[in-house]
Structure 1
Amino acid sequence: MSDGVQAAGASLDYYLIFATPDDRDRGAPPLGILVEEFVLCDDHTAAGIDSVEWSSATGAWGDSSATSRDIRTDALLRSRVIAVSRHDAGDAYQACGGGEPPPETEIRTLFRERQPLPAAAPLDLGATGSRFYRVLFAGELGGGGLANVRSALRLEPIDDPLARVIGAATATAADHTFTWELRRIGPGIAWCLDMTVRLGTGPESAIGALLHHHRQAIRGRA
């Protein structure tokens, strides 16, 4: 796009929101469904989040900017939310009386208010021809979630006496070399995925594809 901002493009993210953490854990019907899409700059950094929320009480789609913001800042709300696939979100939508879930092209037309994210270009490491990206994740992974993420990201253990860096991995794609680390930011506060890209001659779209893959891997296994 001419303004250098574009939707992530691969798929939307779906979350089921329950009345209590117990309802979430026992699979009770959700109160609503939150749908999000990251909006990216041309350099693959996130500029904002588009979202919309469906309520099982009203059967209608409505504004979700507060919910989208709060699941990243409110630990109690996060305990009532679970990330799901589009298929599982569709099953919940039908079970709550919503009928056939709308296609993603239609859901995107319901986005009304964009939640802006702090804009910052990836760190340019200068003469090395490398870039540095950081992806933040709120909350705690837990033992099972951490094991799942380690496997999904193919992390090798790192000897870190303070256990801040959980593991690292390296791969090459489209002539770029990627190195990533999973790092803890304070106990129970947040995690981050740090990725360094040594640029090659291939298309830069490979950078966005790997960032998207890693973000979805953590989202789906945490």
Structure 2
Amino acid sequence: MRRCVQELGSDEVADDALLDYYLILAEADGGDPGAPPLGILVEEFVLCDDYTAAAIDSAEWSAAAGAWRSSPASSRDIRTDAHLRARVTAVSRHDAGRAYQAGGGGELPQEAEIRALFRERQPLPAAAPLDLGTTGSRHYRILFAGEPRDLGSIRSALRLEPVEDPADPLARVVGTATATAAGHDFTWELRRIGPGIAWCLDVTVRLGTGPEAPIGELLRHHRQAIRGQSLIPVTIERFA
């Protein structure tokens, strides 16, 4: 049975920004990340020990109320409501802190304090990986909602080689890349699921003899690179 925990423990990564931050802006702001936000949504994926996602923890600060609350509904809505998603901007913790101060919140709480507000969990569909007869390999899919702001930046960050013309709305695979880390061979490709519907990053891992931590690190790095371009991660699945 897979064990599911918070995404990263405090002793696993020496980084003070492990959570995902989003600004929720008024419609008139036109998505300007410098404008005082109506709210700030902070999230963390709950991952199983094979790096698939089991749930999303979240908390939201409202400028109008001047208070924080657990907010699984907001996590769900920014992934299912395109109108709301257009008012959501992914930001770094630093930029979230600046917006928090501009909105009258003062100093942004430390991440341990924010985690203490994760009282209601948004569960994600879970299923055991399929047996595709690919012993020694894993196949992951990171699903994203929305449309990218700058596809070129994603291709650069993920070192994608072009496969099909990304300007073609009917193109499916827009880029692919390979790498080796800790003895594992990785291949990933960015796919358009449908025009204006969703995107996904498919990652194949051919397992070597090294530790598995680089698998989680690569999945997180790629998810964050794509999240920064207006695509909101929905889940992390594994097919084999």
| TM-score of the pair, normalised by structure 2 | 0.86
User: For the structure 1 residues 121 and 217, does the alpha-carbon distance in structure 2 shift closer, same or farther, using more than 3 Å as the test?
Assistant: farther
Alignment match, 2:4: 5
Deviation larger for 108-117 or 3-12: 3-12
The answer to whether structure 1 residue 28 and structure 2 residue 72 are counterparts is no
Report the Cα distance in structure 2 between the residues aligned to 1:66 and 1:21, rounded to whole angstroms: 23
Q: Which of 196, 205, 210 matches 2:213? A: 205
Aligned-partner Cα distance in 2 for 1:3–1:191: 26
Of 112, 116, 127, the residue aligned with 1:105 is: 112
Q: What are the ranges of 5 or more consecutive residues in structure 1 without an aligned counterpart?
A: none
Q: 1:156 aligns with which of 158, 161, 164?
A: 161
2:139 is matched with: 132
Q: Which runs of 4+ in 1 moved over 6 A?
A: none
- The amino acid of 2:161's aligned partner reads E
Shift in CA distance, 47/137, structure 1 to aligned 2, threshold 3 Å: same
Q: Is the CA contact 2:24–2:40 (under 8 Å) kept in the aligned structure 1?
A: yes
For the residues of structure 2 that align with 1:87 and 1:26, how far apart are their CA atoms?
12
Residue 102 of structure 2 is aligned to residue 95 of structure 1: yes
Deviations along 1:102-159, one digit per CA (max 9) or x if unpaired, are 10011100111100011134455434511100000001114xx111111110000114
Rate the CA distance shift 1:164–1:60 in 2: closer, same or farther, 3 A: same
- CA distance in 2 between counterparts of 1:54 and 1:22 reads 18
Map residues 170-189 of structure 1 onto 2, 5 A cutoff.
Answer: 170-189=178-197
TM-score scaled by length of structure 1: 0.93
Larger relative contact order, structure 1 or 2 (CA cutoff 8 Å, min sep 6): 2
Query: In structure 1, what is the Cα distance between the partners aligned to 2:35 and 2:106?
Result: 18
